[in-house]
Amino acid sequence: MFVKNCWYVAAWDHEVLADTLLPRTILGQPVVIYRRADGTPVVIDDRCAHRGAPLSLGRREGDAIRCMYHGLKFGPDGRCQEVPGQDNVPAKLCVQGYPVAERGRWIWIWMGDLQRADPALIPDAFSLKHPDWRYKPGYLHYDTDYLLICDNLLDFSHLSYVHEKTLGGSPNIAQSRPEVTRMERGLHVTRDVRGTVPAPYHARLGGFTGQVDRRFSYDFLVPGVLLMHAHVKPSDTPDDDMSGALRFHSCQALTPETANSTHYFFMQAHAFRLDEATITESIYRSLCAAFEEDRLIIEAQSRMLAATPDGAMHPIAADLALVQFRRLLQEMHDAERDAPAPPHTAPVKVNRPQLAAHP
């Protein structure tokens, strides 16, 4: 079940350099991502309209791509510009293109109705490019349905067990009850954990010797974007005293590759000791170690579900947020399915102009 009328993260900016032709499959569709000469990102289908060779194995020529099988050249609008050995270029020799926008350091793609591609719907991952925050970008590939990863991010009770020796460190997290609020295109989740032991890497970073209070406060937005403020501070200080706190902002985005595989773009930015590169690297390594723990259990869960298709999953109280989010996705999917089909003015799909990049 894919919702198409929303923005998906297609790549980090550093994955698409001046001469890059980046192949990536999104929602089961192979695409190629590259940049025009002015740096504006472009996304078009990766399949040459002639004999189906990957355009990502071609070469950049100005703003166009030359297929290196039989030499057809396609512009950033998806239209074929040249066929070696013939003067006329048939109108059907085109590939589908997609609205694309660059915000912060993420390149976003819209896979749905072109008329609904509103850049205002792109989530505000502000810390991706903000002078008050430092981070190192990360990427993981999962061999599982992206909804299982959404479930994981919507229920932080797993930190007490999956991440017992990394991000968690205490059963208090699972014992605390989150507040869940429905938003127009997602959920807001807040979980306060008081009087707990610091996670191992928090103890290293903050030098905490006693109990701490932790807060996780995040928006989880369609299609699967987490934007979270989090902090850790000594329990014996007032709630509004952040002088001894470790403050983080996390941006994570899930993009389905296929029904059974997922692109996972992530980072955790810090607002303390900004000039110490070793701190940024330490946070990144701790996050990678913890996310590998997630991947191990979620991919094992996926294999078990595939092996036992008749088994039931029984809900518990901790499932509140993930149940609401799946319901929201189902509502949006059903609305897309039931919407009137757009009029067909041509026998093939023709790419529309790309959206301009924004800072």
Tens digit of each residue's pLDDT (9 = 90 or more) over 195-226: 999 988 899 899 998 999 999 999 999 999 99
Tens digit of each residue's pLDDT (9 = 90 or more) over 95-146: 999 999 999 999 999 999 999 999 999 999 999 999 999 999 999 999 999 9
Cβ atoms within 10 Å, residue 335: 11
The residue assigned the tokens 């690297």 is: 281
Indicate if the alpha-carbon torsion angle 2, 7, 189, 196 is positive or negative.
Answer: positive
Per-residue pLDDT band at 167 (split at 50, 70, 90): confident
Q: What is the pTM of this model?
A: 0.93
What pLDDT score does 347 carry?
35
102 bridge partner residues: 107
Query: 298 by DSSP, 3-state: which?
Result: helix
H runs (alpha helix) in 216-353: 277-307, 320-338
Alpha carbon 129 to its chain centroid, in Å, reads 16
Tens digit of each residue's pLDDT (9 = 90 or more) over 256-285: 999 999 999 999 999 999 999 999 999 999
Domains of the chain: 7-113 (2.102.10.10), 126-332 (3.90.380.10)
Alpha carbon 346 to its chain centroid, in Å, reads 33
Q: To 5 degrees, how large is the angle CA 191–CA 193–CA 195? A: 170
What pLDDT score does 357 carry?
45
Q: Which of 91, 110, 93 is nearest to 102 (CA)?
A: 110
What pLDDT score does 251 carry?
98
In the 3-class helix/strand/coil scheme, how is 237-255 assigned residue by residue? Answer: CCCCCCCCCEEEEEEEEEE
What pLDDT score does 343 carry?
58
